[in-house]
Structure 1
Amino acid sequence: MSANTEGFKTFWEQLTPERVAHIGEYYTDDAYFRDPFNEVRGLPAIRKIFDHMFVQLHEPRFTILEVVHQGDTAFFVWDFTFRMKSYKPEVVQTIHGSSHVRFASDGRVSYHRDYWDAANELYAKLPVIGALMRWLAKKMA
């Protein structure tokens, strides 16, 4: 694993509100970020997403399970654990996903796209939406 990949992995596994403030050490100024809920470009927009995560969730934590690295590209497989502040805060939730990352020539990330199943990993666990999702899944099967 390259030093860039290892540094990025460590950053995500040790992410805290304080470390979000230093996100520019790991992302280029014009970095692109996309996940199932967001598509943004630039450090302020990326920082806002992760600041918001710490406002909405208790103890959010990424555990990197696998890393594949080739050239300037890396692929991370991860588990994201957290507790929602507004819904069943006592229950630990887990989302399994992956991230496709490209490193710029200076070693920072210029492209970051997260892939995870929002329907099954998140929506299906919510009371009203979850019941609707399960009903739709049965009808589609």
Structure 2
Amino acid sequence: MKRTLSQADWQALLDWYQTLTPDTLPDIGRFYTDAARFKDPFNDARGLANIQAVFRHMFKTLDQPRFTVIHALRDGDQAFITWDFDFIYAGRKLGIHGGSHLQFDADGKITLHRDYWDAAEELFEKIPLLGLPVAWLRKKLKAA
């Protein structure tokens, strides 16, 4: 029998994102279909194993990564979440503000997870040697 995403399952998903660790990553199959797609400015992963690999890479390369959900909106088989992602990289505390568009199948599992965030402002400008040229370019392209 097909079902839609219940309020309890929706809250469980939001809680899972906010408490995600290498130990809870295997629970991803509870929320994503086997053929789900995850896309962000750096990755385009298809299939549960490849999406897990993206998250494993995150845990391998970043210290103390943590998502905090700011707003969560759901309408039928679509949802949008705004979030803050805080982490430590090379001893520096950094953060990214972004959003995720989610699409669900008839069983309430994610078929598409698309992250939107400004890689130039949120990341590249904070990297030594790269930050100044990116900031200069953003200033040049900015409307008066």
RMSD over aligned Cα atoms: 1.3
Partner of 1:114: 115
Which of 13, 18, 38 in structure 2 is aligned with 1:8? 13
Deviation (angstroms), 1:30 = 0.1
The reply on whether 1:31 has 2:36 as its aligned counterpart is yes
CA offsets 1:109-134 (integer angstroms, 9 cap, x no match): 11110000000000000011111112
2:54 aligns to what? 49
Please state if 1:76 is matched with 2:77: no
Identical-residue share of aligned pairs (%): 45
Aligned to 2:3: none
Match of 1:94 in 2: 95
Which consecutive residues of structure 1, in runs of 5 or more, have no partner in the other structure?
A: none
The offset of 1:38, in angstroms, is: 0.6
| CA offset digits 1:77-108 (Å, max 9, x no partner) | 10000001xx3x1x321100000101112221
TM-score by structure 2 length? 0.90
**In 2: Cα distance, 1:3 partner to 1:60 partner:** 25
Comparing 103-112 with 119-128, which one deviates more in the overlay?
A: 103-112
TM-score norm. by structure 1 comes to 0.92
Count of equivalent residues: 137
Rounded to whole Å, the distance in 2 between the matches of 1:5 and 1:96 is 21
